[in-house]
Amino acid sequence: MELIKTKIVIGCDHAGYQLKEELKDYLLSNGYLVQDFGTQSDASVDYPDYVHPLATFIEDNQEVRGVLICGSGVGVSISANRHRKVRAALCWNEEVAKLCRQHNDANIICLPARFITNEEANKMVDVFLNTTFEGGRHATRVNKIEIEK
């Protein structure tokens, strides 16, 4: 029996739907438990409607990591980062995916569906999920991100 590695939450808008479905299959085939926050088709939707429930889940479950996808990755990143305890990083290659975990303790990777291949997405998510936060001087900086209201 194959063990579940960890839980991953995933969401997208219409532009990210196909990549989300491919990535979800990839993650499931690699032993991850995946919770899909939608959308469930390529019909036009407003990305915040899918980002906010996923980001709220991350706020309440800090041990879980997330994946968000839209055409450019920018809209989902901006929306997710409105949530406390969320550090959503727009990634376009493996090195950025690695650094956002090592140096920024990102807990959501945001992907630009219109600019990357399925294979590139798989590799970036693998790096993101398998890289640990270095802490140290980076922890001092990360702890300064959230502001008090």
Q: Which residues are catalytic?
A: 103
- Beta strand residue intervals within 44-84, DSSP E: 65-70
> Residues 6 or more apart from 142 whose CB is under 8 A from it?
87, 104, 105, 133
Reduced to 3 states (helix: H, G, I; strand: E, B; else coil), residue 61 is coil
Burial 73-82 (b: 16+ CB within 10 A, else e): bebbbebbbe
